[in-house]
């Protein structure tokens, strides 16, 4: 009798353990066809909205891509950056890396509205942002990749985590490597993803110290940037300059070519080619655009896998700026 009871208990425990493991596997898995039946027009809906937004303002492509990056680096790709502040938490939008610089929220909101009309309550804001980031790259001439989806949206956000986890424009090479490693991304992933700076612009306050104080910078390039970025803090802080001085609105490998001639705009750009361990990767990407494109696409997929909320975790927000 006791033996039978013990056997039954062991079988029950083993069954529960196996179910738990299976659930974890299922919950942690994103797929490229998650919405193929529940929202079949999702991809075309997002694509047309992104095309329209980027055609209206080329910089918007870089802004949406940056939103995704800043979302994933703070507690995973969970749409938390899209949440407005509430009485119960201070969100990420006013954290130092995002204040006065994160933009494109209105584009994501517009896409969400269109998706909600087609498939109400089905698609997460986190997934919309992931797809929109890919489409932004494609519309500017960059590589395509199959976006894995199935994420759910966070119910909270963390300004403190945004301040500590998002790499700063003043980062050293070792700090960049550590920041990316902390979320499971390799040094090569880091250099490839830094290539996102082939599009978009940065504010004077982010590169002022580099153009006035650093020596590993092309003199003519520094002089040009100084014309619209005064030395005095507080003067022209919001003035913009292209991160890629050659082709600011095209997704290509000129960013890496610029680094090799000491024309990286941010300190965190130029450290990638400054006599350190990543010089060879930069050189490779500057010589081989297809290598950069394929590595960038692979790194974006990898970044999209950072700690997603799946299964019964989180929620599907009706509006991206607030929880349900």
Check whether residue 205 and residue 254 sit in a common domain. yes
For the segment 30-49, the average pLDDT, to the nearest whole number, is 97
Q: Find the domain containing 161 and state its range.
A: 41-166
Among the residue ranges 12-16, 60-64, 123-127, the one predicted with the least confidence is 12-16
**243 in a structural domain:** yes
**323 in a structural domain:** no
**Burial of 5 (C-beta count, 10 Å sphere; 0-12/13-18/19+):** exposed
Query: pLDDT by residue (tens digit) across 107-153?
Result: 999 999 999 999 999 999 999 999 999 999 999 999 999 999 999 99
**36 in a structural domain:** no
Give the confidence band of 24 by pLDDT, cuts at 50, 70, 90. Answer: very low
Q: CA 158 to CA 156: how far, in whole Å?
A: 7
pLDDT at 86: 87
Does the annotation place 86 within a ligand binding site? no
Give the confidence band of 89 by pLDDT, cuts at 50, 70, 90. Answer: confident
| Residue of 42, 46, 70, 201 with catalytic role | 70
267 among known catalytic residues:
no
Check whether residue 255 and residue 181 sit in a common domain. yes
Whether residue 17 has pLDDT greater than 50: no
Give the confidence band of 88 by pLDDT, cuts at 50, 70, 90. Answer: confident
Check whether residue 99 and residue 130 sit in a common domain. yes
pLDDT at 8: 52
Does the annotation place 247 within a ligand binding site? yes
Check whether residue 69 and residue 94 sit in a common domain. yes
Does the annotation place 80 within a ligand binding site? yes
Does the annotation place 127 within a ligand binding site? no
Using the CB atoms, write b or e for 198-237: b if 16+ within 10 Å: bbbbbbbbbbbebbeeeeebeeebbeebeeebeeeeeebe
Q: CATH number for the domain including 270?
A: 1.10.420.10
Domain count, the chain: 2
């Amino acid at each position: 009798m006791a033996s039978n009871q013990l056997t039954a208990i062991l079988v029950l425990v083993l069954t529960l353990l196996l179910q738990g493991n299976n659930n974890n596997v299922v919950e942690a898995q994103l797929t490229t066809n998650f919405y193929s039946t529940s929202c079949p027009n999702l991809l075309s809906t997002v694509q047309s909205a992104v095309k329209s937004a980027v055609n209206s303002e080329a910089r918007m492509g870089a802004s949406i891509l940056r939103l995704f990056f800043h979302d994933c680096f703070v507690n995973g790709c969970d749409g938390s950056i899209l949440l407005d502040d509430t009485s119960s938490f201070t969100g990420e939008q006013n954290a130092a890396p995002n204040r006065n610089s994160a933009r494109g929220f209105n584009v994501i909101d517009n896409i969400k509205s269109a998706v909600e009309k087609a498939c109400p309550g089905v698609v997460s804001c986190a997934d919309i942002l992931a797809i929109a980031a890919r489409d932004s790259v494609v519309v500017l001439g960059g590589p395509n990749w199959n976006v894995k989806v199935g994420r759910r949206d966070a119910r909270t956000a963390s300004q403190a985590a945004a301040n500590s986890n998002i790499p700063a424009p003043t980062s050293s090479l070792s700090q960049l490597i550590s920041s990316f490693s902390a979320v499971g991304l390799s040094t090569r992933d880091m250099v490839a993803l830094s290539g996102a700076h082939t599009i978009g612009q940065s504010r004077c306050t982010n590169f002022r110290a580099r153009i006035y104080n650093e020596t590993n910078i092309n003199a003519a390039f520094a002089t040009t940037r100084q014309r619209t970025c005064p030395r005095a803090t507080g003067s022209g802080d919001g003035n913009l300059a292209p991160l890629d001085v050659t082709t600011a609105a095209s997704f290509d490998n000129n960013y890496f070519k610029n680094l090799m001639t000491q024309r990286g705009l941010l300190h965190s750009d130029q450290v990638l080619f400054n006599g350190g361990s990543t010089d060879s990767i930069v050189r490779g990407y500057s010589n081989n655009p297809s290598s950069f494109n394929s590595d960038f696409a692979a790194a974006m997929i990898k970044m999209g896998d950072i700690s997603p909320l799946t299964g019964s975790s989180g929620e599907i927000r009706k509006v991206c700026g607030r929880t349900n």
